[in-house]
Amino acid sequence: MDPLEHASIPSLVYLALPGEPTLLGLMALVLGAIFPDLDALTNEHRSYLHSLLPFLPVFLLGLHLRGSFLLFALGWGSHLFLDFFTGVIPPVYPLSRRGWGLSIVVNGPGNFRINVKLIERYPEKRHNYELEIGGSFALIFLTILTAIIRLR
């Protein structure tokens, strides 16, 4: 999942919730949602910041402090949640590099079935930094449009 998708999906949820979303809140959420991919600067893309070990204390602190800090933590949590469905996240990295994820494959239309499988493997090393963002560009465009409408 690329940074535009990671930014868009929690933002659309935030903007769809009842209440008064704020630009500061949205920025904190987006920052938290793309923050874990700073791991890409290390040898392994899904490593330190995709682990629950640094995330859980930040999340608990967010529950205590509330406001923008909580939104940052929720953005970070949304990143881990989404990555869980598009590969694996290593919950106790660096104690273990073993990652977990959920694979959902839909077959059809003639022999329709849904396969749900827990996957366990080590995160792959990142070999290139090229991103194909064509599909996500439409998503971020809709997110910005929704933000303009909701943040008036």
Residues forming contacts to Zn ion in the complex (CB under 5 A) are: 37, 83
Q: Give the three-state DSSP class for 56.
A: helix
Nearest distance in Å: CB 79, Zn ion = 6
The interaxial angle of helices 134-150 and 3-16, nearest 10 deg, is 30
Taking the least distance from each CB to Zn ion, the nearer of 68 and 78 is 78
With CA atoms as reference, report the closest residue to 35 among 65, 90, 80, 67: 80
Output the CA–CA distances (angstroms, integers) from residue 140 to 26, 84, 147, in the order listed: 13, 21, 10
Q: Give the residue with the Cβ less far from Zn ion, 37 or 44.
A: 37
CB of 36 to Zn ion, least distance (A): 5
Q: Is 18 exposed, middle or buried (0-12, 13-18, 19+ CB in 10 A)?
A: exposed
What whole-number distance in Å separates Cα of residue 63 and Cα of residue 48? 22
Q: Which is nearer to Zn ion, 43 or 115 (CB)?
A: 43
Min dist. Cβ of residue 11 to Zn ion (A): 16
Min CB(63)–Zn ion separation in Å: 23
For residue 145, the minimal CB distance to Zn ion (Å) is 25
Q: Which is nearer to Zn ion, 5 or 83 (CB)?
A: 83
Q: State which residue has the least CB distance to Zn ion.
A: 83
Residue 33 or 147 having the CB closest to Zn ion: 33
Q: How far is CA 8 from the centre of its chain?
A: 10
